[in-house]
Amino acid sequence: MIARGKNASDLFPAVVKNVACKNIEDPNQLIRASALRVLSSIRVPIIVPIMMLAIKEAASDMSPYVRKTAAHAIPKLYSLDSDQKDQLIEVIEKLLADKTTLVAGSVVMAFEEVCPERIDLIHKNYRKLCNLLIDVEEWGQVVIINMLTRYARTQFLSPNQNESLLEESAEKAFYGSEDEDAKDAKAEAASLAKRKPYVMDPDHRLLLRNTKPLLQSRNAAVVMAVAQLYFHLAPKAEVGVIAKALVRLLRSHSEVQYVVLQNVATMSIKRRGMFEPYLKSFYIRSTDPTQIKILKLEVLTNLANETNISTILREFQTYIRSMDKDFVAATIQAIGRCATNIGKVRDTCLNGLVQLLSNRDELVVAESVVVIKKLLQMQPAQHSEIIKHMAKLTDNIQVPMARASILWLIGEYCEHVPKIAPDVLRKMAKSFTNEEDIVKLQVINLAAKLYLTNSKQSKLLTQYVLNLAKYDQNYDIRDRARFIRQLIVPTEKSGALNKYAKKLFLAQKPAPILESSFKDRDHFQLGSLSHLLNTKAVGYQELPDWPDEAPDPSVRNVEVPEWTKCTSREKRKEKVEKPFYSDSEGESGPTESADSGEDLVTQKGMGQGPPRWGMGQEASRSPIPPWHPPHRSLGPSQLLSPAFGAVRTYELLHRMAGEGLSVEYCFSRRPFPGDPHMVAVQIQISNNTDAEVKSLRVSEPKPLSGMRIQEFPEIERLAPGDTVSVVMGIDFCDSTQAANFQLCTHTRHFYVSIQPPVGELMAPVFMSENEFKKEQGKLMGMSEITEKVTLPEKCRSDHAIVQQVTSAANVGRVPCGADNEYRFAAKTVTSGSLVLITLERREGAAAQLIVNSEKMVIGTMLVKDIVQALAQ
Amino acid sequence: MCFQQKMIHSLFLINCSGDIFLEKHWKSVVSQSVCDYFFEAQEKAIDVENVPPVISTPHHYLISIYRDKIFFVSVIQTEVPPLFVIEFLHRVADTFQDYFGECSETAIKDNVVIVYELLEEMLDNGFPLATESNILKELIKPPTILRSVVNSITGSSNVGDTLPTGQLSNIPWRRAGVKYTNNEAYFDVVEEIDAIIDKSGSTVFAEIQGVIDSCIKLSGMPDLSLSFMNPRLLDDVSFHPCIRFKRWESERVLSFIPPDGNFRLISYRVSSQNLVAIPVYVKHMISFKENSSSGRFDVTIGPKQNMGKTVEGVVMTVHMPKAVLNMNLTATQGSYTFDPVTKVLTWDVGKITPQKLPNLKGIVNLQSGAPKPEENPSLNIQFKIQQLAISGLKVNRLDMYGEKYKPFKGVKYITKAGKFQVRT
């Protein structure tokens, strides 16, 4: 009640005494949650035991909202009494296993606060967290993504250690770059001999895939979290996707811009190419705050390369005329950096900077001098003119740093300006006492160098300067004078050092490297406070380095709960009785799919799952709405078809999205009666509502060009609890594009779509070995795709191989003489093109997969699917 | 002590004159003196925009935002993503704006009870709890004149009487049991042109930033789909959480159960690869004479490629160089002001009629003795074009499912200048 702002002072003693048995056991979940929130907010050590009890109780509450509150209470108790850590970890472990989106964010937050080192607690929940992520509230998303970044760094191998065929071609394949695939395949084959090829752990892929949509979040923190995850975890080729989203954030509030630009600055050093297309988005407006201008300048400098440097320099010219002098100074520095990095423009930059020396503003001149000094050091011989020009400046310029720079330059290159140097020293000796300390030091330096090279003209001047310095107020200067006198002026006492004085003073000095202050900042996790401050903040968790050997991936496998094995009918009844636990069904999806090794196939094919949304109606109807299940890749039931091995069921309409109507489909792999060019899709519709559903039909199919849909006959009525199975035909035109249509009842329309895995677009054909070889001979060259595979232990038997291939694609086995070869043949359903598959086993685990088909896209995708199937 | 305290520890609201006028602590109390570090940084920064958003102090970190003349300074003790805090602080400011109509010191002081109630609900132990406007409004009713009169008589508070079931919902952005007699859905397509025009009038950089702001007052649980004639135009889109991402991916249709009331549905960018039509041009002649302490100023604004629509609400602001003392100008249209302290020239032009182009011309007086300014100021232009989305984006149709009534639907287009700058 306090939480809700009501005056609860009269309730307070009662709360403390009786809270455990009264409010916390209130039938209303909101009251239970509020009671726990109030209890846990009392920072009095006496109530620690009561609090612990209440948290434990709440952690197993029926209501996810109460469980969420329990998760929130954990850090509060921990800060009150850190001795409770062990008990709290138990609670966290329990809550981590929770399957609702509401709890996920809060419990990970508690985990991060209490026991971030217990990474082992995450294993079993990893896949679930990945799948729930998109539906978690935004703040929870940030915490989970940051935690998973650390987790992934400890569990997976670096995707950039060697180029991987599978990953790189995953995206390319769709654009039909078969040539490259072939090239990659060769390169791969070459490296195969040397080391084990890198295959991305499917769980690693799962994380990357499930976080990507969040780049479009409206919440800048979420976008940044995903961006850093991609930067730290994704293969090089895929990191680019984050640039667009980060550039979008630049339109946001200036504080957001500030933080984002800091991170972009770090990223742009390592991955310059990623931001190059957005170069112009970093152009500076005169109205930008100075701190933003300077960061943008940093990014522009990092992005500069041979091709864009002229545009960037033209832009810099505009900036130099700005009224904001700090910004002008930074621009001059930036020009200096561009000049050092890109040799081509060094002279242009130098000339530009020399022109600035006649600028009216002293700060600008001073900054230019400092930068010119650094540039000249790279090639002094050619620029004695500039050095002379700068020598003249000593009369006017007053900024100490600039004066010191000029003096150093003249001293260092006194041989190039033999006439001017002694004169400068003469002038400086005159004004010595009025100079700043850094200038005095450089005067001494200049004197020493001149003494060594041209002692005839400068001996007396040097003596004079050293004498002045001897009585200077600053002890640094006095020390320096004493030291130099001993070194350069030969006396009886002076030892061997004297001989080497010239070598000491006029040694070749390496040119300074002008580099970004953001270099190497990426050892801090991007987006973190520590990265921003460039120092380790309190409580910062180091981002671990990739392991050399991947830890056992099986730790993430989750056992399939007992009940998934019972028929779906029974399960549904159970759910109706216990609405609160309905969410537990969600678990079966991702885990099962991962276990059965079909993860990638199903996710690509259909497993987009029911969208997070669309549960609205449910919510308004019942006072305590059931919880939205996590994404399901596939339905729990696995029908065994006698002929072709496992047939997977996919979900078309989830029970909740469909207001109680649930629809699943599978590819029955039987010819569709009436039209041989159609793929038969078996659809199973169950009515879980308590009302009759009438006139179920397909309407308004919106097929893409050429695609045809043969609807199933309208179902007049479907009684509550009944299930009906119908077959519809779809001509996919040999493409994996989804068929979209509406499923209508007498009250509602549902948008649904069926996307076929490539393996379902074909039907088996039976042929003899000779026929096979003859057809294969016709489909060589471009139509042939070869791929190396490594067969895992359990997939080396004949039976296992055949089963995996036939489950991945609807193909028929072709008899074969050799016993280390397996052949399969099929025809695509629409055009009837042949698809031939050959799998040749080599010694050990190695094998070679060849697919011949004139439909190259189908061939490529099929190879990928089969490799996936075999890899498990 | 070995435990850590994460996330937001305390919040201070500070006005422009440096008074801490509100403080809220979610954990133990942190002394106000921590703000001294902030004031120090503020002094160093000269103007408010340059205060670094993140300040490190010996025991704390301060993360601040500046909104509507108020600094929101939060105190952090340990590592936390800075954007997390910044985004949250902006959400707080948005909520104040939503509740009180403005986010100002007076509004906050007048509603101090509600402000504390809101802050208490938005953060729990420093971690964001309820930030959705629809949930908050269920918990804490926004103030109205009638309600505050009733409250002061009966002594009741603004805390809602019903239980906030919204927190339990799968669609936390929408409150339950919405009822309207007139069901309406309005969409404002607002596009802003960001551009940098160089001296010679050619475009250095231009892109279109658009948003669709919605005002939805529909009963029950409507399920809307909004489709566009040309969705491919949208280069980069960010969504309100209510939008079904997969539908957009596959069909380019915005499908969603909307929150109740006003909200931003999407923001998008139309990239500079597509040529952006610049609706106005500016002719300028600004020069300062050497050693004469005066200069000339002559600017004309004209319409260009405006698709038959009138350009209106034109305002030009110029930050003149520091050496400028005063300006004697004549405007053929509208009125101008020059602030000799901030050196800002503002010219309120109004509507542009192509027959008679608005012009502002005259003499600039410079400080005598000061060197002639090297730089020419850049001109910032604002304008508005009604009934036009400059990118050409068009809403095709809006369909509603799930409810039986016929809603009233409306779409409005408007194009504005965003960060529109002409270099001279």
Nearest CB to B6: which of A247, A539, A608?
Answer: A539
In a domain, residue A604? The reply is no
Residue window 27-66, chain B: list those with CB within 8 Å of chain A: 27-28, 47, 49-50, 52-54, 56, 61, 64-66
Min CA distance, B353 vs chain A (Å)?
29
For the CA atoms of A191, A196, A200, A203, the dihedral, rounded to the nearest 10 degrees, stands at 180
Min CA distance, A839 vs chain B (Å)?
35
Distance CA A838, CA A854 (A): 15
In a domain, residue A581? The reply is no
In a domain, residue A109? The reply is yes
Distance CA A801, CA A811 (A): 13
- C-alpha distances out from residue B72 to A813, B65, B69, B220, Å: 70, 5, 10, 37
- Phi, psi (rounded to 5 degrees) for B132: -75, 130
Q: What is the average per-residue pLDDT within A199-226?
A: 91
Distance CA A10, CA A17 (A): 13
What letter represents residue A288's amino acid? Answer: D
Looking at residue A197, the DSSP 8-state letter turns out to be P
Give the end of a domain, one of A757, A773, A789.
A757
Q: Are B204 and A280 inside 8 Å of each other by CB?
A: yes
Is A697 strand, coil or helix? strand
Distance CA A799, CA A811 (A): 15
Min CA distance, A627 vs chain B (Å)?
7
Domain that holds residue A659: 649-757
Q: Are A321 and B139 inside 8 Å of each other by CB?
A: no
In a domain, residue A795? The reply is yes
pLDDT score recorded for residue B317: 94
Nearest residue on chain B to A116, alpha-carbon basis: B4
| pLDDT bracket for residue A499 (50, 70, 90) | confident
Same domain flag for A7 and A138: yes
Cβ(B232)–Cβ(A210) below 8 Å: no
Same domain flag for A736 and A848: no
Same domain flag for A149 and A30: yes
Judging contacts by C-beta atoms under 8 Å, the chain A residues touching residue B163 are: 28, 30-31
Token pair 């006194």 is found at A414
Closest CA to A420 of A461, A398, A389: A389
Query: B394 and chain A: CB distance < 8 Å anywhere?
Result: no
Q: Are B269 and A3 inside 8 Å of each other by CB?
A: no
Distance CA A96, CA B340 (A): 63
In a domain, residue A7? The reply is yes
Residue A776 parent element (H or E): helix A769-778
Supply the CATH classification number for the domain B184-276+388-422: 2.60.40.1170
pLDDT score recorded for residue A583: 37
Selected residue of B65, B170, B200, B379 to mutate for chain A interface (largest A Cβ count, 10 A): B170
Selected residue of A529, A704, A745, A747 to mutate for chain B interface (largest B Cβ count, 10 A): A529
pLDDT score recorded for residue A232: 92
Q: Are A221 and B87 inside 8 Å of each other by CB?
A: yes
Cβ(A789)–Cβ(A845) below 8 Å: no
Distance CA B44, CA B285 (A): 36
Selected residue of B88, B139, B168 to mutate for chain A interface (largest A Cβ count, 10 A): B168
Q: Is the dihedral of CA A663, A664, A668, A669 positive or negative?
A: positive
pLDDT score recorded for residue A255: 93
Nearest CB to B5: which of A79, A220, A280?
Answer: A79
What six digits make up the tokens of B82?
């800075």
Same domain flag for A746 and A671: yes
In a domain, residue A787? The reply is yes
Same domain flag for A767 and A861: yes
Burial class (CB in 10 A: 0-12, 13-18, 19+), A552: exposed
Least confident segment among A635-639, A756-760, A860-864, B148-152: A635-639
Distance CA A786, CA A753 (A): 32
Is A648 strand, coil or helix? coil
CATH at A828: 3.30.310.10
Q: Are A749 and B401 inside 8 Å of each other by CB?
A: yes
- C-alpha distances out from residue A826 to A420, A640, A734, A810, B199, Å: 89, 21, 13, 7, 66
Selected residue of B83, B116, B175, B202 to mutate for chain A interface (largest A Cβ count, 10 A): B83
- Predicted confidence (pLDDT) per residue in B243-256, tens digit: 988 888 888 999 99
Cβ(A468)–Cβ(A476) below 8 Å: no
Judging contacts by C-beta atoms under 8 Å, the chain A residues touching residue B168 are: 29-30, 63, 65, 624-625
Same domain flag for A777 and A751: no
Least confident segment among A21-25, A312-316, A355-359, A520-524: A21-25
Q: Are B54 and A112 inside 8 Å of each other by CB?
A: no
Nearest residue on chain B to A138, alpha-carbon basis: B241
The structure's pTM equals 0.70
Q: What is the average per-residue pLDDT within A477-490?
A: 87
How many residue contacts between A and B have a Cβ separation below 8 Å?
263
Q: Are A251 and B131 inside 8 Å of each other by CB?
A: no
pLDDT score recorded for residue B168: 65
Cβ(B118)–Cβ(B136) below 8 Å: yes
Min CA distance, B255 vs chain A (Å)?
9
In a domain, residue A319? The reply is no
- Phi, psi (rounded to 5 degrees) for A593: -65, -40
Nearest CB to B49: which of A40, A134, A289?
Answer: A289
pLDDT score recorded for residue A581: 32
Same domain flag for A794 and A753: no
Same domain flag for A8 and A137: yes
Across chain A, mean pLDDT equals: 78
Judging contacts by C-beta atoms under 8 Å, the chain B residues touching residue A109 are: 6, 127
Selected residue of A613, A655, A659, A745 to mutate for chain B interface (largest B Cβ count, 10 A): A613
Q: What percent of chain A has pLDDT over 90?
A: 16
Residue A261 clears pLDDT 90, i.e. is over it: yes
Distance CA A167, CA A153 (A): 18
What letter represents residue B340's amino acid? Answer: P
CATH at A713: 2.60.40.1150
Structural domain count of chain A: 3
Same domain flag for A39 and A143: yes
Q: Are A3 and B205 inside 8 Å of each other by CB?
A: no
Q: Are A65 and B61 inside 8 Å of each other by CB?
A: no
- Predicted confidence (pLDDT) per residue in A604-648, tens digit: 333 333 334 333 333 333 333 334 433 333 333 333 333 344 567
Q: Are B168 and A625 inside 8 Å of each other by CB?
A: yes
Q: Which CATH number fits domain B8-152: 3.90.1150.10, 3.40.50.300, 3.30.450.60, 3.30.470.20?
A: 3.30.450.60
Supply the CATH classification number for the domain B280-386: 2.60.40.1170
CATH at A7: 1.25.10.10
Nearest CB to A220: which of B54, B83, B167?
Answer: B83
Q: Is the dihedral of CA B291, B297, B298, B299 positive or negative?
A: positive
Residue window 92-121, chain B: list those with CB within 8 Å of chain A: 113, 116-117, 120-121
Query: B68 and chain A: CB distance < 8 Å anywhere?
Result: no
Residue B360 forms beta bridges with which residues?
Answer: B299, B331
Residue A689 clears pLDDT 50, i.e. is over it: yes
Token pair 């939805």 is found at B216
Across chain B, mean pLDDT equals: 86
Q: What percent of chain B has pLDDT over 70?
A: 91
pLDDT score recorded for residue A440: 92
Nearest residue on chain A to B380, alpha-carbon basis: A287
What six digits make up the tokens of A15?
């709360």
Min CA distance, A554 vs chain B (Å)?
30
Give the end of a domain, one of A725, A757, A789.
A757
Q: Are A43 and B28 inside 8 Å of each other by CB?
A: yes
The answer to whether B8-152 and B280-386 have equal CATH topology is no
Angle A851-A856-A860 from CA coordinates, rounded to 5°: 60
Task: Map out the domains of chain B as residue ranges.
Answer: 8-152, 184-276+388-422, 280-386
- Predicted confidence (pLDDT) per residue in A4-39, tens digit: 555 555 555 455 656 555 666 777 788 888 888 888
Residue A191 clears pLDDT 60, i.e. is over it: no
Judging contacts by C-beta atoms under 8 Å, the chain B residues touching residue A280 are: 204-205, 272
Same domain flag for A116 and A15: yes
Residue B345 clears pLDDT 90, i.e. is over it: yes
Give the end of a domain, one of A111, A143, A159.
A159
Same domain flag for A768 and A728: no
Cβ(A651)–Cβ(A661) below 8 Å: no
pLDDT score recorded for residue B305: 64
- Predicted confidence (pLDDT) per residue in B4-62, tens digit: 555 888 999 999 888 999 999 988 888 889 999 999 998 888 788 889 999 999 889 99
| pLDDT bracket for residue A822 (50, 70, 90) | confident
- C-alpha distances out from residue A503 to A421, A441, A482, A500, Å: 20, 19, 19, 5
Same domain flag for A14 and A154: yes
